[in-house]
Amino acid sequence: MEEMKFFEKVQKVQEELKAPKNQFNKFGNYAYRSCEDIYNAVKPLLAKYGLYLTLSDELVTVGERYYIKATARLGDETRFIENVAYAREEETKKGMDGSQITGASSSYARKYALNGLFLIDDVRDSDVTNTHGKIYENDELNNKTYRSWLDKFFEDKPERLAKFLEYYKIKTTDKLDQVMGLEEIDQLISKLKKEGK
């Protein structure tokens, strides 16, 4: 049997790799795959095709912000390909110290470097786009239009919007789902609607 060329091996790994979303985020109510899930799924294929995989991180500064640059490299004894992904470190994140923030950014960047390298589509079933059949009190959540509702609500209340964003430590209303689950956003909208009457 003729030996496979390097890019044929890469193509076979990309084709055969199955990394299902076996993890579940109870807070956000969505399924996801972790970096470790991808590692575990790809290891047998690396052995099968005589390839290696390395991951490395580098801290880079863009402006005044820190980013983790993750590089995923797939190779054999003569050639390699690599993919790079970045994740921005948040200045602060509730319940996390600096090392945890860096670690979370590293995991995120590594996962997306692997996704690019292995052609994994990682459009997550986020709590923003998938309500998993749950019916919320407010149609804005059921129809996934709560962001535009919030923007409209605060349209003529710039001071209140500034306080709102400061309170939740976000820069825009479209980031609210990063600090709250949909049920909390549903309750918040109900409260704001009552205040608006």
Give 80-138 pLDDT, tens digit per residue. Answer: 999 999 887 666 666 666 677 777 788 888 998 999 999 887 554 343 444 445 566 66
Residues 107 and 87: their CA atoms lie apart, in Å, by: 9
Write down the residue that tokens 């919320």 correspond to: 136
- pTM of the shown model: 0.59
27 or 124, higher pLDDT = 27
- Gap between the Cα atoms of 171 and 83, Å rounded: 30
Element (H, E) at 13: helix 6-16
Question: What's the pLDDT tens digit per position in 52-77?
Answer: 999 999 999 888 888 889 999 999 99
Euclidean distance between CA atoms 43 and 131, whole angstroms: 34
Q: How high is the pLDDT of residue 177?
A: 73
For residue 139, the model assigns a pLDDT of: 65
For residues 6 and 160, the model is more confident at 6
d(CA 136, CA 85): 35
Query: What is the Cα–Cα distance from 61 to 69, expressed in whole angstroms?
Result: 10
Picking from 18, 31, 64, the residue whose alpha carbon sits closest to that of residue 132 is 31
- Mean pLDDT, the chain, integer: 80
Closest CA to 182 of 138, 116, 119: 138
Interhelix angle 146-154/158-168, rounded to 10 degrees, is: 130
